[in-house]
Amino acid sequence: MKISVFDIPEEGLNIELNETPKIDGVIIVDSFKAILRIEKNGREVFVKGVVSGDVELQCSRCLKDFNMPIRSMVELIYHPIEELNKEELVELKRDEMDVDFYREGLIDTEDIIRDQILLNIPMKPLCSEDCKGICPHCGSDLNRSNCECEVKEIDPRMAVLQSLLRRMRKDG
């Protein structure tokens, strides 16, 4: 949804919408919901609210697809793009809100949702904090069953200890 800055009334706007932004490599389950409060002060526009929905990600350990819910607070301050590089912006740095820019008097809510999704997707997604992943030898899913390989493999710390013991026996 594109919101025209000129159409934002004095008392502000409350909007609720569903959108499915296109993002490369991200599968959106259903659509994302945004509940936003939009206010204007001169050419400055304030957007506050919450964006929520589910994305489907692939676990970086077990390679299974899983749904991750995202719920993100939005707190943005918009300025017209023409103000970019002007001195006025130095002032903005004191503010803790995120600064964004609108073009041709339009704010696209799809961009807001897209940004929130991208901000919340982890670099290494995990289906669960303690996902055991797949066995590097036989490829079986260790969350479902333990494979034989795991037993044969020796903990590197144990290996050091074993060689130490062997040496001690030889010396003694």
> Least distance to Zn ion from the beta carbon of 85, Å?
45
Applying the rule CB under 5 A, the residues between 149 and 168 that interact with Zn ion are 149
Q: Between 11 and 130, whose beta carbon lies closer to Zn ion? A: 130
One-character DSSP codes across the chain: -EEEGGG--TT-EEEEEEE----TT-EEEEEEEEEEEEEEETTEEEEEEEEEEEEEEE-TTT--EEEEEEEEEEEEEEEEGGGTTSTHHHHHTTS-SEEEEEBTTEEEHHHHHHHHHHHHS-SS--SSTT---B-TTT--BTTT---SHHHHSPPHHHHHHHHHHHHHHHH-
> Least distance to Zn ion from the beta carbon of 56, Å?
13
How many residues touch Zn ion under the rule CB under 5 A: the total is: 10
Q: Which stretch binds Zn ion (CB under 5 A): 32-40, 61-69, 75-83, 87-95?
A: 61-69
Query: Which of 28, 55, 61, 74 is the binder for Zn ion (CB under 5 A)?
Result: 61
Per-residue x/- mask for Zn ion, residues 91 to 130, rule CB under 5 A?
Answer: ------------------------------------x---
Binding status of residue 137 toward Zn ion by CB under 5 A: yes
Please report, as ranges, the residues that interact with Zn ion according to CB under 5 A: 59, 61-62, 127, 131, 135, 137-138, 147, 149
